[in-house]
Structure 1
């Protein structure tokens, strides 16, 4: 079977990248918790999609294929990062402070306090904040998701940030 021309493939592939980039990045971030690693996984995923575009039979299934590929590549990246031969561990180097019991306890308390502040917010305001800051949506996307004007979303986010800053000021 002859390979498709580069122009046709590039033209058909660009909308796929635009449409699914955020989804693929979100999947990678949820596994890796590292923007740099997630960006690498996104590139690897779309490179794999580019090279296997002709093998994907159902164009409607591309999002599922991309999500599955991104998740697998993210887990592969985690597995590669964890593989440190036991004899290479240096016991003389102390563990980072973030792993010390006091650091873990402090972060756990901060997370609990932040969850408490969010739980006390009005539901629409909290949802705006979650969509913007946890899911990384743009203002217009938050407005669309909640069926609100963008100006309302902006106002709710300002009030949410002020509340969080005021309530968590002792944690600074």
Structure 2
């Protein structure tokens, strides 16, 4: 390895340094995980502004409570849990439920056939609407599994439920989404 190549410190090292007051170490943690937490929040909340607020609050809270994290290797799981819980609180505070913001959806590729782009756009719209019909807990569990690729145990830790409850929520979400999305098969 040449002197110009450096190995990025692992998560536990950065967490340890941040605990000791190293702001740069914490900034690196934020850079590593901010996009992931935002992606989760925007998909759960279907609102970019709310998602930005949630992620900002989560990272601020994490910085303030870093000394409460028992295991330095559990930082990302801790972030998922805080982000999920904060999103669920935001959803519970919304009454009545707001409509999905079309700006939050990723646009289909425009370099394909126009009819295909219209179909993909329609499918994404239907999926967004179907996700809104799920309970907030089902939606969070489904997104953590299907979009973020977390294990059932990681999801259970993130949402504060047992793995069996998570499996049940995901199974109900899948069944409901499958029913709603039948016309698109």
> Which has the higher Rg, Structure 1 or Structure 2?
1
Question: Is the helix fraction higher in 1 or 2?
Answer: 1
Larger RCO, structures 1/2 (Cα 8 Å, 6+ apart): 2
